[in-house]
Chains A and B, each alone.
Chain A
């Protein structure tokens, strides 16, 4: 299990990186964290002739928190974002979700932008990006463009990014201050890809839910958002979650069965996780410490 030969490119600017991508075209891959890419190379499931290693590109490792968004560069590692207190305060869902991404050693190297660009339906962060109505900032030979997260994902491992484009950064849009969030997933082993996972964002006014949305992991072909406001609007936060919610989730998700779980099981699991995530998000505890609302353990 050794990677096939490739030419290693080490651009130092985004423009250089894009220029190389333009030259090598279909035969090139971007190497950022490499935590998904390198196993694929080692198993020779892919043998690109060129790797464009962006780790030496200056300025891609910053986290910027603005009034409206958390913007992270293409070289921000999962662990760096997870430990970024300002980002966690601005958007607690980031830390809530990131703690579910594989294991710490993987998070130390893997990049959040990379896992979004990889577009694995089992990835946590694509769902979070979509739930926050996030935006990708791509650079190509023709210049920069912004892609709404909802327009980015086409299917499993398939996106609208051109092969000569690089995702320079993504912006997670911040929720309103009163929005409460939770992330829950269930995997066979701690740190494995989820059998099902869910991120929820709930708006509560005077103890009553006025808006609720959920984004899913592993149970939809592309990250997509279910607006639960029609079934949850007016619900007393803290009361048992109504069955209409789980019915809506079961109808919305479209999981596939595999050797780890049947499709029906995943459907049930997505619904139950959503119920539990909503209960967690709307618990009366105020979200002063972003870690306190983190519900990152598997259900059992």
Chain B
């Protein structure tokens, strides 16, 4: 080891405030902090995973204003004006899965689970715009995310199954509301 010499001045920290999963969260971080790292290490939202840090694998996909975006290709400081939704915002309760999460377990669409949050965010947003995809469209919809375990086949099935669950739940919600004006069952998949 060498002796310590004069330090460079510490990097300037910014106070970064983000709307994440409907809540305003604030932390100090330098301007270069990637959104993925800010979510994971500064806010403790470790459900967003980092697989390549160059925007190809899609594991870190989060929703920014409802649209899928690579969190590794955005600085936290740039996300301040936007609404960010992570996997925790799609559904953080293992007992109460969103339609996409439910479909993933039914269809065995995950193995190691590392890429899964990026798929779930991507598919959740996709189904908002395309509620009834064909298997071909489902395959296209997930073709910007890498998975090394599943071979994608069951993920394609899960996209179609999630569309069904969404419809079932929204039908049921309407019936519930008509019948007893009770609380609709928690559709964890609805986007913030």
Contact = CB atoms under 8 A, between A and B. Distances in A.
A42 B72 contact: yes
Contact of A8 (B31, B72, B122, B144): B31
B73 A38 contact: yes
B143 A1 contact: no
Chain B interface mostly:
mixed
Q: For the side of the interface on B, what is the size category?
A: 20 to 34
A103 B74 contact: no
Interface in B16-40: 30-32, 34, 37
Contacts of A53: 75, 77-78
A41 B30 CA distance: 15
Given A104-B144, A191-B143, A38 B74 contact: yes
Interface in B42-79: 53-55, 58, 61, 64, 67-70, 72-75, 77-78
B175 interface: no
Contacts, number: 85
B77 to A, nearest CB: 6
A51 B31 contact: yes
A65 B76 CA distance: 33
A6 B31 CA distance: 7
A7 interface: yes
B96 to A, nearest CB: 26
A6 B32 contact: yes
A42 B67 contact: no
B31 A38 contact: no
A267 B150 CA distance: 36
B54 A42 contact: yes
Interface of B: 11-12, 14, 30-32, 34, 37, 53-55, 58, 61, 64, 67-70, 72-75, 77-78, 81, 122, 140, 143-144
Given A39-B54, A39-B73, A41-B32, 11 more contacts: A2-B34, A7-B12, A35-B55, A35-B73, A53-B78, A104-B144, A105-B144, A106-B70, A106-B144, A108-B68, A108-B69
Interface of A: 1-8, 10, 31, 34-35, 38-39, 41-43, 51, 53, 55-56, 79, 102-106, 108-109, 190-191
17 contacts: A2-B32, A8-B32, A34-B75, A38-B55, A38-B72, A42-B54, A42-B72, A53-B78, A55-B81, A104-B144, A105-B144, A108-B67, A108-B68, A109-B64, A109-B70, A109-B74, A190-B143
